[in-house]
Amino acid sequence: MPTPLPNFEEAEIVLPGGRALPAALEPRLNTYYIHNGDVRLRVMLATAVTDTPRGSIIFSPGRTEFIEKYFETTTDLIQRGFNVLMVDPRGQGLSDRITEDPLKSYIPNFQVYADDLAFAAEEFAPLLPKPHIAMGHSMGGTIVLQSILSGALTPDTVICSAPMLGLFDLETPLLRAMIVMFSKLGLAKKNLPFQRQRSGMPIPFQGNKLTSDKDRYRSWAAYFQSTPRLRVGQPTYGWIRAALASMAYVNRNADNLKIPGLMLGAGADPIVDPASVEKFAKAAGCEYAVVPGALHELFLERDPLRDEAFGQMDAFLDSQKI
């Protein structure tokens, strides 16, 4: 007899312009609200298209991201035989915002994100058959790695897409010192200046740093354009300070990972330095693969690039007999 669905409050799903859920996903997807302390988190559980799942993927999205952005990717994963658990990070999606201004991108430290992810995994544990694969994109990759290295989450393996382990333009000693100083001077919740993204609205496709796929970019952008509650503004000094501290912690403790992993780099990434991903993989004893020509969002890229990323994942999972 299948395990019954949990008795949590059901959460809404955003579908801009009346778009439909992917056909394979629609009967297998549920969203819920759970409470970690006084913060309400929105969680998605999608079940594999098989009665005998290969395992479960515990997924953490990147900065500004939300569950709906990954419906296509979730469909790919359940069709590969996995249950998928995903959490809107606090301050994003339809999880609670944690500052008075709902657009603020702020967190005191990334361990808060890591603990939320681990809490959700524990709440849904009866519906997450093993082995467990922790998976994250960009900021989510850093969160996943911090959750493992801190002991909050204990998966069997880990896969990260363009994990935020080294940022272009934001890690010079001078800029780091300025960010720390401004945060300590009480400006932690002030937005970082000179950012193209304003008021949580996406910039035009031309010149974006995320993907070369116009249709996927426009599909993603439609969520922010239609649903103000999903919007997140530019990072604050406090968020950048927390991100730099988390990256330093993860990189410093790479050799403590102790589980198999795959780190995927985007070859033309203008946000995360692929060399930082390769360096971490080497130090952690993980496999490293790069998708040449891909911008930052491997799961939103053009089909040939996206297929290459999934091909690397499939080969890795096969090598682990998962």
Q: What is the pLDDT of residues 108-158, one digit of tens each?
A: 999 999 999 999 999 999 999 999 999 999 999 999 999 999 999 999 999
Give the per-residue pLDDT at 178: 65
In this structure, what is the dihedral angle of CA atoms 155, 159, 160, 165, given to the nearest 10 degrees?
Answer: 70
Nearest to 42 by CA among 9, 15, 74: 9
User: Which DSSP helix (H) or strand (E) runs through 250?
Assistant: helix 237-252
- Three-class SS state of 73: helix
Q: How far is CA 232 from CA 96, 103, 173, in A?
A: 12, 5, 27
CB 225 within 8 A of CB 202: yes
User: Which DSSP helix (H) or strand (E) runs through 284?
Assistant: helix 274-284
Identify any residues that bridge with 157 across adjacent strands, giving them in sequence order. Answer: 133
Residue ranges of domains in the chain, CATH in brackets: 9-319 (3.40.50.1820)
Can you list the residues of the chain whose pLDDT is less than 50? 1
Give the per-residue pLDDT at 316: 98
Average model confidence (pLDDT) across the chain: 92
Give the per-residue pLDDT at 6: 77
CB 197 within 8 A of CB 210: no
Distance CA 79, CA 241 (A): 38
Q: How far is CA 156 from CA 3, 56, 82, 302, 306, in A?
A: 22, 10, 14, 30, 24
Distance CA 146, CA 254 (A): 10
271 Cβ contact list (under 8 Å, min separation 6)? 138, 162, 167, 168, 209, 296
Distance CA 251, CA 298 (A): 22
The C-alpha R_g of the chain, in whole angstroms, comes to: 18
pLDDT tens per residue, range 159-181 = 999 999 999 866 556 566 666 66
Give the per-residue pLDDT at 1: 38
